[in-house]
Amino acid sequence: EAGVAQSPRYKIIEKRQSVAFWCNPISGHATLYWYQQILGQGPKLLIQFQNNGVVDDSQLPKDRFSAERLKGVDSTLKIQPAKLEDSAVYLCASSQRLDPNEQFFGPGTRLTVL
């Protein structure tokens, strides 16, 4: 079974530029999550989808971050414009259902904002 795929693995941009990350969850997984992990900290949930609907985006900085999950499969997370404090690893995870069972994580995208 293929795992959660993410791309790119690394991205370096200047502040005020835009960037987009892509995630392909495990086939059949209805729930998809985007986490932000700042160096030395635990992951923090940014947004949670159930199929193509948003369940929780309370910690997403909506003035600059956006995410979508068209057709309930792949998802894209965008930052526009980026700030220095957005430097982090962005992790995508998926699970079969909404309930708190095992979440499968992708390898992450490491973003550096200069």
Residues that bind other proteins (CB under 8 A): 31, 33, 40-45, 48, 55-56, 89, 91, 93, 95, 98-108, 110
Residue 39 corresponds to which amino acid?
Answer: L
Of 75 and 95, the one with the shorter C-beta distance to other proteins is: 95
SS3 state at 70: helix
CB–CB of 50/31 below 8 Å?
Answer: yes
Of 27 and 101, the one with the shorter C-beta distance to other proteins is: 101
How many of the other CB atoms lie within 10 Å of CB of 59? Answer: 13
CB–CB of 60/77 below 8 Å?
Answer: no
Of 28 and 100, the one with the shorter C-beta distance to other proteins is: 100
How many of the other CB atoms lie within 10 Å of CB of 55? Answer: 13
The nearest distance, CB 79 to other proteins, in angstroms, is 19
The nearest distance, CB 42 to other proteins, in angstroms, is 3
The nearest distance, CB 108 to other proteins, in angstroms, is 5
